[in-house]
Structure 1
C-alpha cells in the first residue's frame, strides 16, 4: 500500500504536536500511523486513498458506524444550524437525561460533562465528598482516564504514580488490586475500610485486552462496599450502551452500582462524558450540593442531540441484534482459527466487543473442543480456564510486541484496521456487514 501522504502528514505533525499526535495511543504503530481522510459505513479511507475495514470505530463511540442514519444526521444538523452553544440550559439536555434514567438501572439523576476522563475525575471527587473519605480502590490495568487519582501503578501496599507529574501524595490515596481477586479486595478493606470512599471498576476490563469478570466478582464488590459504607462505581465509558444494550453492562451482570460513569456512545461520536447514579449522591454536585463540578461545554446541544438520536435509533431498530450477532460470528470464527493456527492464543469479548490476546501458554490443541465457543467467559469447566487472562497482569505478559510490530501491520496490509496495540478493544458497528466479517476472518488466517 502507498502511504506517502500519511508519512508527509506525520512529518508535519511532528513539528507542531508532541509525538505528532493528540492522543498517545495513535502513535503506537511504528514508524508512523496512517492518517484518516474520511469514514464510509464500516470502513475508513486514509490520506492515500487506501480503504480499510474499521474495527476501531473511534475507540468505541461509533455504535452506528461512520454513515449515520437519516434521523440521527438530521437531529445533529438541526442543532448545529441553530447555533453552536449558549452557556444556558437547553431542552435536549433534559431529553437525553430522561432517556438514560429510564433505561440504566443505577441512574436516578445524571450530570453531563465532556469526556470519559472528566466523568471519572468528577465521580471520584463526588464519592469522596459524599462519604467524607479519601481512598479509592481500583483494579490494576483498569483505565479510568488521564486523571491523577487513577494514573497509579503498583499494589495497595506500594502505590506509585504511573505518569510524571502526579505527586506521590496523590497516589497514596489510590489502592490498586488485581481484577478478579476477591482476597486482595478483602485485604484493603481490612486495612483501610474506614477511609475507602469507593471501589471503581470497569464491569469488563476494556483497555487491557478485554477481561471478563469471574462469576460472583461484581456481586462480591457490591456486598463488601455496602458492608463498609463505601460506594461502588462502575466505569461504563466503554461498555455503556454497548454491552447489555440500553441497560448497559450492569443490567447484563445484574449488579447495580451507586454511581456509573459514561462516555463514547452516550454522545453519539461527539465529545462527552456523564456521571449518573442514586439521586441522593448525584445531588451533592453543585449547585444542589457542595461538590464543585462545572464546565463551559457540558451538555453541549449538538452532542446531546447526537447521543439522544443515536440511542433512540438503537431502541427503535435492530441495532443491538445486528452488532451482537456479528460480534458473535467474529468471535466464533476467530476461536476456530486460533484453535487451528495458534492454540495458545485467547479469543475474548462479548456482545459487539472482540479481541485476540496473544497469550503464551494454553492447553493442548486436542483438548479445545469444549472451550468457550465465542470468547472467554471465565468458565471453570473450559480447558482454557487456567490459561486465559484473569487480570491485567496476565494480558501484559502476553506477546504484545509481536501483536504490535508484526501482526497489526500484516492486518493493515490486508485492508483491516485493528486497534493500535494489544490492549485496546475492537468494536462492531451497525454499518458492518457479514462480508466485512468474512474478509476479516480471512485476514486473520493469513496474518496468524
Structure 2
C-alpha cells in the first residue's frame, strides 16, 4: 500500500495545523492518510488506496458518501438559492416539524451548529429552567468540547478538569458517576438533589465503545430525576436517527427524557445541532424566556435541507430495517470470528453501530451468549465480563487495539475509528459483500 502523498500532505499540515489535524482523534500514528473522496461505502485516499469506511464521518453519513439523486438535487437547489440569509427560512420549520412528529419527547427545537453547541445549550437551559447549578454526567460519556462536561473524577465527588484551560470552578459544578451504576446516581441525589439541575447521559456510550445500558438503568435515571425535580437530558448527538430508527434511542429503550440533543444525522453530513423538548422548557430560551442562546449560523438552510431530505428518504424507504439487519449480520459474524480467534473479546453496538472491545477475560465456552452484540442480558454467560462503563473499556487491551489492530485493518482495506473507544458505523451504502470482506479482514487482523 502506497502512502507517499498522504505523508507529504501531513508534512505540510504540521507547519500550519497544530499536530497536523483539526481534531485530535484524527492524529493516528505515525501519520493519518488523507482522504481524496468518498465513494458509496468507501473512501479513497490521496494515494488511490480504497477502504471500506466504517467511520462514516463519525456518524452523520447514514446513507453513505453518495446521496440518492433526489436528495442531492434538493441540496444543490438550496445552494443555488444562496447559502444563508440571516432571517428564518421554511426549512427550519419543516425539519423541526419532522423531528417533533417522530420523537415523542420533542415539541419544540432550537437549531444550533454542532453537537458541542447543542449540549452546551441544553445544560444552560436546564440550569436556567431549574434554577440549580450542578449537572451529573457519566464517566466515559462525551458531550463535546465544552467546559461543563470535560470533567473527570471519582464517583459522586467534585470533578476536576480533564483539559487545560478549564477553571476548577467550572468543574466543581459537575458530578461524575459510572454509567450503569444506579446506586451511585441515587446516592448523589440523596446527598445533593436540591442542587442538581440535570443528569446528562448518552443512552449508549458512543465514545466509549458503544456500551449499552443494563436493564432498567435508563428507567432509574428517569425516576430519580423526577423525584428530585431535576431534568433528564439524553445526548442523542450520535444515536439520534441512527439507533431506534425515527424514534431514536429513547424510543428503542422506552424512556422519555426532558431534553434531547441532536446533531450528526440531522445535518446529512453538514454542520448542525439541535436541542429539543417540551414547550414548557424550551420556551425558557430567548426571546420567549431568559436563557440566552443565539448563533449567526443557527438554522443554516443548507445543513437543514440536507438533514431533512436525508431523513425523508430514510422514512420513505427501507433504510432502518436494512441497517438493523446488516448490523446484526456484521455483529453476529464478528461474534463467530471471536469464538475462534479471541473468545475473551466482546462485540458491542446496536442497529448500525458496532465495536469489538478487546476485553481480557471471559468464559471460553461462548454458547448461550448474545448473538448480535452485547445486550447486557443477565442470563448471558458473558454478562459479568461485558463492559458496563468506562473503567471496563479502559481495562481492555486499548494499546493493542490502537497500535496493532487498527493498522492491520487498514492494511486489509478497512477504515475503522482510530481507537478502542470510538464507535463505528454502517451506512445504507454498505452491502452484504462489504460485511463478508470485513469479516475476513477481522479474521486476518486478529
Query: TM-score per shorter chain, which class?
Result: over 0.9
The reply to whether residue 352 of structure 1 matches residue 352 of structure 2 is yes
Looking at structure 2, the residues matched to 387 and 288 of structure 1 have their Cα atoms a distance apart, in angstroms, of 49
Task: Find the counterpart in structure 2 of residue 35 from structure 1.
Answer: 34
Residue 314 (1) aligns with residue 333 (2): no
Q: Contact 2:158–2:171 at 8 Å: present in 1 too?
A: no
1:60-103 residue CA offsets vs partner (Å, 9 max, x unmatched) = 00000000001110111011111010100000110000000000
Q: CA deviation at 1:318?
A: 0.7
- Deviation digits for residues 275-325 of structure 1 (CA, Å, limit 9, x no counterpart): 000111011111111000000000000001001000000000011111111
Q: CA RMSD in A?
A: 0.6
Deviation at 1:332, TM superposition (A): 0.1
After TM superposition, the structure 1 stretch with the greater mean CA deviation from structure 2, 11-20 or 155-164, is: 155-164
Residue 213 of structure 1 pairs with residue 222 of structure 2: no
2-structure distance, mates of 1:323, 1:6: 32
Cα deviation 1:235-260 (Å, max 9, x = unaligned):
00000000110010000111100000
Structure 2 equivalent of residue 92 of structure 1: 91
Does 2:443 correspond to 1:445? yes
Q: Distance in 2 between matches of 1:149 and 1:185?
A: 18
Instruction: Within 5 Å, give how 1:425-436 maps onto structure 2.
Output: 425-436=423-434
Corresponding residue for 2:47? Answer: 48
Deviation at 1:158, TM superposition (A): 3.7
Alignment-derived partner of residue 101 in structure 2: 102
TM-score, structure 2 normalization:
0.99
Could you say which residue in structure 2 is the equivalent of 1:264? Answer: 264
User: How big is each residue's C-alpha offset from its partner over 1:365-386, in whole Å with a ceiling of 9 and x where there is no partner?
Assistant: 2x21100000001111111111
TM-score of the pair, normalised by structure 1: 0.99
Q: Secondary structure at 2:367's aligned position in 1?
A: helix
Q: Give the secondary-structure state (helix, strand or coil) at the position aligned to 1:369.
A: coil
SS in 2 for 1:45: strand
Look up the match of 2:293.
293
Which of 406, 412, 415 aligns to 1:414? It is 412
Structure 1: 5+ residue runs without aligned partners? none
SS of 2:366's equivalent?
helix
What is the CA-CA distance between 1:190 and the residue it aligns to? 1.1
SS at match of 1:232: strand
1:95-124 C-alpha deviation (Å, 9 max, x unpaired): 000000000011000000000000000000
**Residue in 2 that maps onto 1:277:** 277
Runs ≥4 residues deviating over 2 A: none
SS in 2 for 1:395: helix
